[in-house]
Amino acid sequence: MSRLHRIVMAGFTVLSLALISCTAPQSTANPNDLIGSWSLVWWDSGQTLPDAPITLIISNEGVSGNASCNAYQGTLAVKKDAFRVGHLGTTLVLCTDEMTKAENTYRGLLQAVTGWRIADAALILSSEGTDSLRFSRT
């Protein structure tokens, strides 16, 4: 390979890297955007959402909400786009089988979450890069 060819190839490489770094999406994740009340509108469970609403309330103290029949609360660790729910405590109201199944599914998905983003005014929680829960602000 000639010296001129190597110089030209090096120039293209530097130019390509510069263009990629300028156009790569920058994370604008701000954990303060999470604070507030959210209502579940979609989940990746293969089940339809229950008739009773499922809510998520995020505060500086952690998470809480209603899992369709029982209330829950737990700890939350958030850093940039990382999201981790700790142990969840729940009330012990007797629920229908359908609601119990929905609650177990929701809590399982919520505790498996590793990431978050807000897109189109929706909170999207993901597990290992796959979207699993979508909420609208209430």
The H or E element spanning position 7 is helix 3-23
Q: Domain limits at 109?
A: 31-137
Residue 68: inside a domain:
yes
Residue 7: inside a domain:
no
Q: Are strands 62-66 and 71-79 parallel, antiparallel or unpaired?
A: antiparallel
Sorted by sequence, the CB contacts under 8 Å of residue 83 that are 6+ apart come out as 76, 77, 113, 114, 115, 116, 125
Residue 38: inside a domain:
yes
Residue 25: inside a domain:
no
Per-10-residue mean pLDDT, the chain, length 138: 44 37 46 94 89 95 96 95 93 94 95 95 95 96
CATH of the domain at 91: 2.40.128.270
Residue 129: inside a domain:
yes
Residue 12: inside a domain:
no
Residue 11: inside a domain:
no
Which tokens hold the place of 71? 């209330």
pLDDT at 12: 39
Residue 102: inside a domain:
yes
Query: Which pLDDT tens digit goes with each residue over 11-30?
Result: 333 333 333 333 333 345 68
Structural domains in the chain (count): 1
